[in-house]
Amino acid sequence: MGFLGSIFTWWDGAGLTTRLMTRRHGREVGRDEGGNIYFVHRKDPRRRWVIYQGSNDASRTPPGWSSWLRGQIDDVPDKSLPPRRPFEKPAVANLTGTGETYRPAGSLSRLGQRPAATGDYQAWTPD
């Protein structure tokens, strides 16, 4: 996004005012694997924020950094949380509305046929 884009848009990254105020009042404390940059206020360390790399979508914040932003942990996740275990999957942004949305068999978007009912359902009737 260019200079004009940062003046007139807020939905695709930080705007010009946010960047200026961040430089003036913020101190960078870390970055995540998605390129998001995390800041803390110079005078009030309880005030924390993130500047997203790309679109402003909170689901793009990894769980550890999300905990830090909300004040659930005091130090940055790399120092205060245990390392990721091998069975844990990396955080993924919300895929709703994209081409990678989960579409089970039989859904209208997959143009498939729903599986036939098995007869194991018994409707409830009031007494």
| Residues 50/69, Cβ–Cβ less than 8 Å | yes
26: how many CB neighbours lie within 10 A of its CB? 20
Interval 48-100: pLDDT, tens: 989 888 778 888 888 899 999 999 999 999 888 888 899 988 878 788 888 88
Q: CA-based angle 15:54:12, to the nearest 5?
A: 40
Q: What is the pLDDT of residues 104-127, one digit of tens each?
A: 877 777 777 777 777 777 888 998
pLDDT at 46 over 70: yes
Q: Which residues contact residue 11 at a Cβ distance below 8 angstroms, ignoring those fewer than 6 apart?
A: 55, 56
Q: What is the pLDDT of residue 72?
A: 93
Give yes or no for residue 43 having a pLDDT over 70: yes
User: Where do runs of H (alpha helix) occur along 1-127?
Assistant: 3-8, 16-25, 63-69, 77-80
Instruction: Give residue 70's pLDDT.
Output: 93
Q: Could you tell me the residue ranges of all domains in the chain?
A: 3-85
User: How is residue 78 written in tokens?
Assistant: 């790399």
pLDDT of amino acid 8:
60
CA 57/CA 92 separation, integer angstroms: 11
